[in-house]
């Protein structure tokens, strides 16, 4: 009944502080209804959750398949925007809101650990009407809120869908490391944002966000010369790590490449049969 064993680290809160406890998790074969390594986490009670140990950088061709569904009236087509801290996720969110709102009904959700900083930024810049945006304070590891326990995000997306009947919901994760990625049950289309300022080595480091997202955005290309990053190297490594999966080089703050991002989002929505037709 079981075809793989995964070693995980459980973080447990004790009176003496946080303690790492190693244990083995048996994962049922997907053919028998198991979820496989992408869902091997199990929360260890209040304040704790598990961290999966991956044995490779991930594969684009073997990534979790896009889900065809028909409950769009319960959860609008959801675009997950993830990536490390400071990569430009919120700048891309703002640019996407401004571009998509011209023809489509849009809502947005942001995630921060202890603040509402990104939501406040979108509000100050009038990305969307304030009541169409929600802020979630995850209070812990940002990746858990978009994959292992995405209930708060799912509730917000569903609430916005019921209230406004949007065609799309843009969902920004909190900044995290290269091991973070969205659950396919939460995000229909996944964008992962890295930036040139992190160095041209980032694409070849891999991780599920880089290798398995539907779209990799390499942001802040205008900073390449200043930081000594070679865009040709990043393009080569991204193509290799993503096995030919789509990668766009952008300057979200200046709107460069945003039209291409929007085009890919709308193509994916059409492919999945989501009712994203444009309102005016």
Output the pLDDT for position 206: 92
Which pLDDT score, from 0 to 100, does residue 32 have?
A: 28
Residue 67's pLDDT is 86
Rounded to whole angstroms, the Cα distance separating 194 from 176 reads 11
Name the H helices within the chain: 89-100, 117-124, 151-164, 202-205, 208-212, 224-227, 231-241, 258-271
Q: Are residues 228 and 102 in the same domain?
A: yes
Parent domain of 183 = 77-271
Per-block mean pLDDT, blocks of 10 residues, the chain (280 long): 30 36 28 36 47 69 87 98 95 99 98 94 98 92 84 97 98 85 95 96 94 97 97 98 97 98 98 86
Task: Report pLDDT for 51.
Answer: 54
Taken in order 157, 158, 161, 163, the sign of the CA dihedral is: negative
pLDDT score for 54 = 61
How many domains does one find in the chain?
2
Q: Which class for 20: exposed (0-12), middle (13-18), buried (19 or more C-beta within 10 A)?
A: exposed
pLDDT of residue 151: 93
Do 38 and 131 have their domain in common? no
Neighbours of 81 (CB within 10 A): 29
pLDDT at res. 22:
29
- Residue 223's pLDDT is 97
Q: Are 183 and 150 in contact (CB under 8 A)?
A: yes
**Distance between CA atoms of residues 271 and 93, nearest Å:** 22
Task: Clarify whether residues 40 and 151 are in a common domain.
Answer: no
Judgement on whether residues 130 and 252 belong to the same structural domain of the protein: yes
Quote the pLDDT of residue 20.
34
Same-domain check for residues 152 and 27: no
Of 36, 52, 68, which residue is a domain's last? 52
CATH number, domain of 159, equals 3.40.50.300
Note the pLDDT of residue 144.
Answer: 85
Task: Say whether both 98 and 216 belong to one domain.
Answer: yes
276 found inside a domain? no
Whether 141 and 254 map to the same domain: the answer is yes
Residue 256 located in a structural domain: yes
pLDDT at residue 16 in the model: 40
pTM for the model: 0.81
């Amino acid at each position: 009944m079981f075809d793989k064993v995964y070693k995980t680290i459980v973080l447990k809160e004790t009176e003496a502080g946080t303690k790492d406890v190693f244990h083995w998790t048996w994962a049922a074969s997907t053919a028998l209804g198991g979820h496989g390594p992408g869902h091997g986490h199990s929360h260890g009670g209040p304040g704790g959750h598990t961290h999966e140990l991956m044995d490779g950088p991930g594969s684009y061709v073997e990534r979790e398949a896009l889900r065809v569904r028909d409950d769009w009236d319960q959860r609008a087509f959801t675009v997950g925007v993830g990536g490390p801290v400071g990569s430009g996720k919120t700048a891309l969110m703002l640019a996407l809101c401004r571009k998509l709102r011209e023809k489509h009904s849009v809502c947005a959700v942001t995630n921060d650990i202890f603040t509402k900083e990104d939501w406040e930024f979108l509000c100050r810049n009038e990305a969307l009407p304030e009541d169409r945006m929600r802020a979630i304070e995850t209070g812990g590891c940002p990746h858990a809120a978009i994959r292992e326990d995405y209930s708060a995000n799912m509730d917000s997306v569903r609430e916005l869908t019921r209230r406004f009947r949007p065609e799309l919901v843009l969902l920004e994760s909190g900044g995290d490391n290269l091991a973070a990625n969205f659950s396919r049950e939460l995000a229909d289309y996944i964008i992962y944002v890295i930036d040139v300022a992190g160095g041209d080595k980032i694409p070849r480091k891999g991780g599920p966000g880089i290798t398995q997202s539907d779209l990799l955005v390499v942001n802040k290309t205008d900073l390449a010369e200043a930081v000594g990053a070679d865009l040709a190297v990043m393009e080569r490594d991204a193509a290799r790590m993503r096995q030919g999966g789509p990668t766009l080089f952008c300057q979200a703050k200046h709107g460069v490449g945003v039209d291409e991002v929007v085009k890919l989002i709308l193509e994916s929505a059409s492919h999945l049969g989501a009712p994203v037709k444009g309102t005016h």
